[in-house]
Structure 1
Amino acid sequence: MQAVVGLARALASAHEPMDAVRAAADLARRALGGSMAAISRWERERGQLRVLVNSGDLAPGEEELPKDEAYAVADFPEIVRFLHERWTEGGEPRAWVETAEGPGAAAGADRRAEQPPGRVGALRRRGRSSCVVAPVLLHGRAWGELYVARGPGEPRFDAHDEEFATVLASLIGAGIAQTEQLEQVRRLAFTDPLTGLANRRAVDARLDEALEHHRRDGTVVTLAMCDVNGLKRVNDEYGHDLGDQLLTSFANELAMCAATLPGAIAARLGGDEFCLVVEGSGADEVLRVAEEVCRRSRLLPYGDGVACGVASTGDPIGPVTTPATLFRLADAAQYRAKAADSLGPVAAGRTGAAVLPPVQAAERRRFRGAREG
């Protein structure tokens, strides 16, 4: 009972799905008296079980958080049936025991014609005596499995262990389902529904965190704001569907540019306003990326580029203690860029703007013609 309560508490307090998986593997191993435990997820599209976490005494080649440890489901015929069926209350699959000795040696062996060589061979190769395997279900459908093993000289798992592992796997499934739902809610709460970028709420949270690092150790924090030019004209002349396509196209370009800056997030603040939040990169580096954003924006069909303003704690802009200060400075720089019809970004604390080569008229017509076609 203590083990069940402990597992339930650990799963309830997990903030991310992987937090729940790691806690589940460790606590299930301890509860079942195993030397190691693993939790794997079924990747339906690939027909394989991918190991998410290993816990305890690991054999050579095993890693706590493996990147590419996966096993073809076809190699484990005993789990094929439960993977392909939908289970309802009262009809859930139960755990089973395997041993390195092979058929007939495990408790509950009478329920199977023979032990699959895949499990037996794996136990022998890794110097383990027995294991108990429990299917993990989410919403009545197979999600993966809990695997707990014991080393040589340790008692083999028995029918009581099978029953207990079934209960633990049920708790694990419920806990993972809860954390995945919370993850989805958080993702929706911090994501712009049109573009898939971060939203204003996510930007505020990221800036709060980044500026705390700036106050503590001087980390450079930069905010680049971009206003998509001509959106109203596109909406009025071609309709809002095309306006939305312009926004999503620019969002894709912004995201690709953000990917070149470690610690950067791309976001849509609302309407035609976007931004980059960058922590740790120098102001000059961010400006170079902002220049690329401006260049790419002028190649988008129907668009008229962007007005871009940048504010960085790496420039002489005075003390920055709150996100509001950085927003105010970046917004003022963006206003300067728009008023000057600048082709490149304008930076707070600096004079002038980046000079970009103009997009040739023929090149723009080619892009627009492709869109209209």
Structure 2
Amino acid sequence: MDERASFEAAAPDLRLQAVVELAQDMAGALTPLEAVRAAAARAVSALGATMAAVSVWDRESGRLRVLVNHGELSPGEQELPEDESYPVADFPEIVTYLEEHWTTGRLPRAWVQTAEDSGPHTGHDHLGSGAFCRQRAAGLRRRGRGCCLVAPIVLHGQAWGELYLARGIGMPVFTGADAEYATLLAAQVSAGLAQTERVADLRRLAFTDALTGLANRRAVDARLDEALRAHTRDGAVVSLVVCDVNGLKRVNDQLGHEMGDRLLERFAHQLSLSAAKLPGSLAARLGGDEFCLLAEGQSADEVVAVAEELCVRALELTDGEGVACGIASTGDSIGPVTTPDRLFRLADAAQYRAKAGRAAHPVVAGRSHGPAYAPDPTVQLADAADPQQRRAPGGRPNGDRRRFRGAAHSADPGQLLAAVLGALDQAGPTHPADTLGRLALVAETASRLLNAVGWWISYVPPGSRLMRTARHAVYRMTGGPASARAQTQRAQIEAPDAVFDLRHYPLTSRAVTGGSFTLRAGAPGNDAAEEAVMVVSGYRAMTAAGGTNPAGGWLLELFADESTLPFTQTAPALRALVAVALAGPCSPPPA
């Protein structure tokens, strides 16, 4: 049996195994590089190639940029090249060839090129002219290879790049079956790349404030942990500036929440400009009207000077009343700082004093005297809020570290993700093993963070259009219409065994299949049936997200009164959290 026959006899099992393993690799890939490295390695093994490469079409530069080379590399080739790219004009088939053959609606097929030939082959037919792939043939000869197989990678309907495989001189030429299989592998790579994009989107959502584009509380926590480790290790100065935008409530009440959002965006822009003056610093919105600036490596005086300028510019913002600004820096006399909570409490205490005294300049923790300042009790204030004897094992304080503003409520989507995922992680071995239990944990944690008035979890059996209440909780009473008819409707809606026909609730029906929505009572364009559920119970707004698993369809709803934080930006995060809850072991709710 010759080499080709021997390989092809073993190929079916090997290739099936490679497809399964590549699918597993793609499912676990968190970055595009992880996805393409796995693809190159699996392709070499499954197709008997000596090497494989994955390249991306960089449209801005008009070049094919190699991301990874795997296998037997020629001189000058690197596994992870820093700058290996080729003009797309030298390989017109990546564009022209694909456009000519995508009209069938099928996956773009891979083709074969040999070092001696100048036209691409699929193994069955000749598809090009002599000049079409001249550069590829020359490249094969230059690197001592006999043939190559090129499989286009398509993402979102556009040419993304290519999977390239090669064999050495004297080895069998790739066949039509090889080309068809490479086409399948390229489709798997495309699916993996799409997943890494979704992961990146979730990461951006988890670490970015949706309104301002700044970092969010979760990003600050992660960065501050790293900064304080560096401070403990080598004494690097870490400074935290905490700002509270003055007058936001007045703007919201008198001019509307949209104008309030514009004020927050304008201040975020100024904070970003300040961060640019402190290289390596992080500008963030903590939630609501609270912002912060985390600086590493600069002296405390440098940070204070930048904060002084920020306070001046904040006073000039349209509709604004300036900011209350507090600073804590390990470069000042504030005692040992070994935990993020300690630095945050010091900065927050300084900001609290600035707010209470309507200071036009920053208040700096640990500085007893300074221009226009009375002796500063900031450190004592922070210690009183978090005495050492109340700290939990491991150095973490009992309760919320931001004690100066009361309960830890936030409508920030990233903080919502962090809080709920943290609750699921903290559950550990007691993590609910049933779908309803996990959804309830999501609902309870989200409701606490948003100060929601209550939540409902509903269930739709497979194949049914009837949705029934599975579990709910109400934290405080709301006042709805007082008529007898309205009271009867409310009792029916809030009954523990309430049943709803999804044909009458279009938004809910779509959400149960994996969507989300937010409604504000009285808003133009609201669906009448959906709004009636809110109005009759006295709710001001609602946000909902759902999805399906083998047990059926599920819907999680949060309801708001006048004390609840705005739901405006929470629906996408809630949808992602519901998807996490539905991914575990599933079972229908108790009958």
Is the Cα–Cα contact under 8 Å of residues 53 and 65 in structure 1 kept in the other structure? yes
Deviation of the 1:35 alpha carbon? 4.7
Is the Cα–Cα contact under 8 Å of residues 58 and 65 in structure 2 kept in the other structure? no
Distance change >3 Å, CA 84–CA 299, structure 1 → 2: farther
Per-residue deviation, residues 149-200 of structure 1 (Å, max 9, x unmatched): 3455655433343233222212211111112111112211222111111222
Deviation of the 1:65 alpha carbon? 4.3
Deviation of the 1:246 alpha carbon? 1.7
Is the Cα–Cα contact under 8 Å of residues 119 and 128 in structure 2 kept in the other structure? no
Q: Out of 130, 137, 142, which is 2:147 matched to? A: 130
Equivalent residues in 2 for 1:72-83, closer than 5 Å: 72=88, 75-77=91-93, 79-80=95-96, 82=98
Distance change >3 Å, CA 214–CA 8, structure 1 → 2: farther
Equivalent residues in 2 for 1:311-326, closer than 5 Å: 311-326=328-343
Q: 1-side partners of 2:218 and 2:96: how far apart?
A: 44
2:68 matched residue in structure 1: 54
Structure 2 counterpart of 1:197, which letter?
Answer: L
Per-residue deviation, residues 25-75 of structure 1 (Å, max 9, x unmatched): 34434544545433233456x484542513242654878244583533684
Matched, 1:179 2:186: no
* SS at 2:125 equivalent: helix
Distance change >3 Å, CA 246–CA 151, structure 1 → 2: farther
Per-residue deviation, residues 258-304 of structure 1 (Å, max 9, x unmatched): 24444432211112110122344443343343334334323433323
Q: 2-side partners of 1:87 and 1:186: how far apart?
A: 36
Deviation of the 1:103 alpha carbon? 2.8
Aligned residues, how many? 353
1:8 matched residue in structure 2: 23
* SS at 2:335 equivalent: coil
* SS at 2:348 equivalent: helix
Deviation of the 1:7 alpha carbon? 2.8
Is the Cα–Cα contact under 8 Å of residues 49 and 144 in structure 1 kept in the other structure? no
2:184 matched residue in structure 1: 167
Is the Cα–Cα contact under 8 Å of residues 100 and 129 in structure 1 kept in the other structure? yes
* SS at 1:246 equivalent: helix
* SS at 2:338 equivalent: coil
Deviation of the 1:4 alpha carbon? 3.2
Q: 1-side partners of 2:100 and 2:355: how far apart?
A: 58
Q: 2-side partners of 1:186 and 1:78: how far apart?
A: 32
2:258 matched residue in structure 1: 241
Equivalent residues in 2 for 1:85-104, closer than 5 Å: 91-103=106-118
Deviation of the 1:130 alpha carbon? 2.7
Matched, 1:307 2:321: no
Equivalent residues in 2 for 1:130-279, closer than 5 Å: 130-138=147-155, 141-150=158-167, 155-279=172-296
* SS at 1:130 equivalent: strand
Matched, 1:287 2:301: no
Q: 1-side partners of 2:47 and 2:31: how far apart?
A: 24
1:116 matched residue in structure 2: 133
Gaps of 5+ in 1: 356-373
Gaps of 5+ in 2: 1-13, 373-591
Distance change >3 Å, CA 250–CA 6, structure 1 → 2: same
Q: 2-side partners of 1:257 and 1:342: how far apart?
A: 19
Identify the structure with bigger relative contact order (alpha carbons < 8 Å, sequence gap 6+). Answer: 1
Distance change >3 Å, CA 239–CA 106, structure 1 → 2: closer
Q: What's the TM-score, normalizing by structure 2? A: 0.52
Structure 2 counterpart of 1:18, which letter?
Answer: L
Per-residue deviation, residues 84-121 of structure 1 (Å, max 9, x unmatched): 98789x82122111223233696627231324224234
Distance change >3 Å, CA 6–CA 298, structure 1 → 2: same
RMSD: 3.4
**Greater Rg by CA:** 2
Distance change >3 Å, CA 95–CA 322, structure 1 → 2: same
* SS at 1:53 equivalent: strand
Q: What's the TM-score, normalizing by structure 1? A: 0.79
Identity of matched residues, %: 55
Q: 1-side partners of 2:363 and 2:198: how far apart?
A: 42
Matched, 1:40 2:40: no
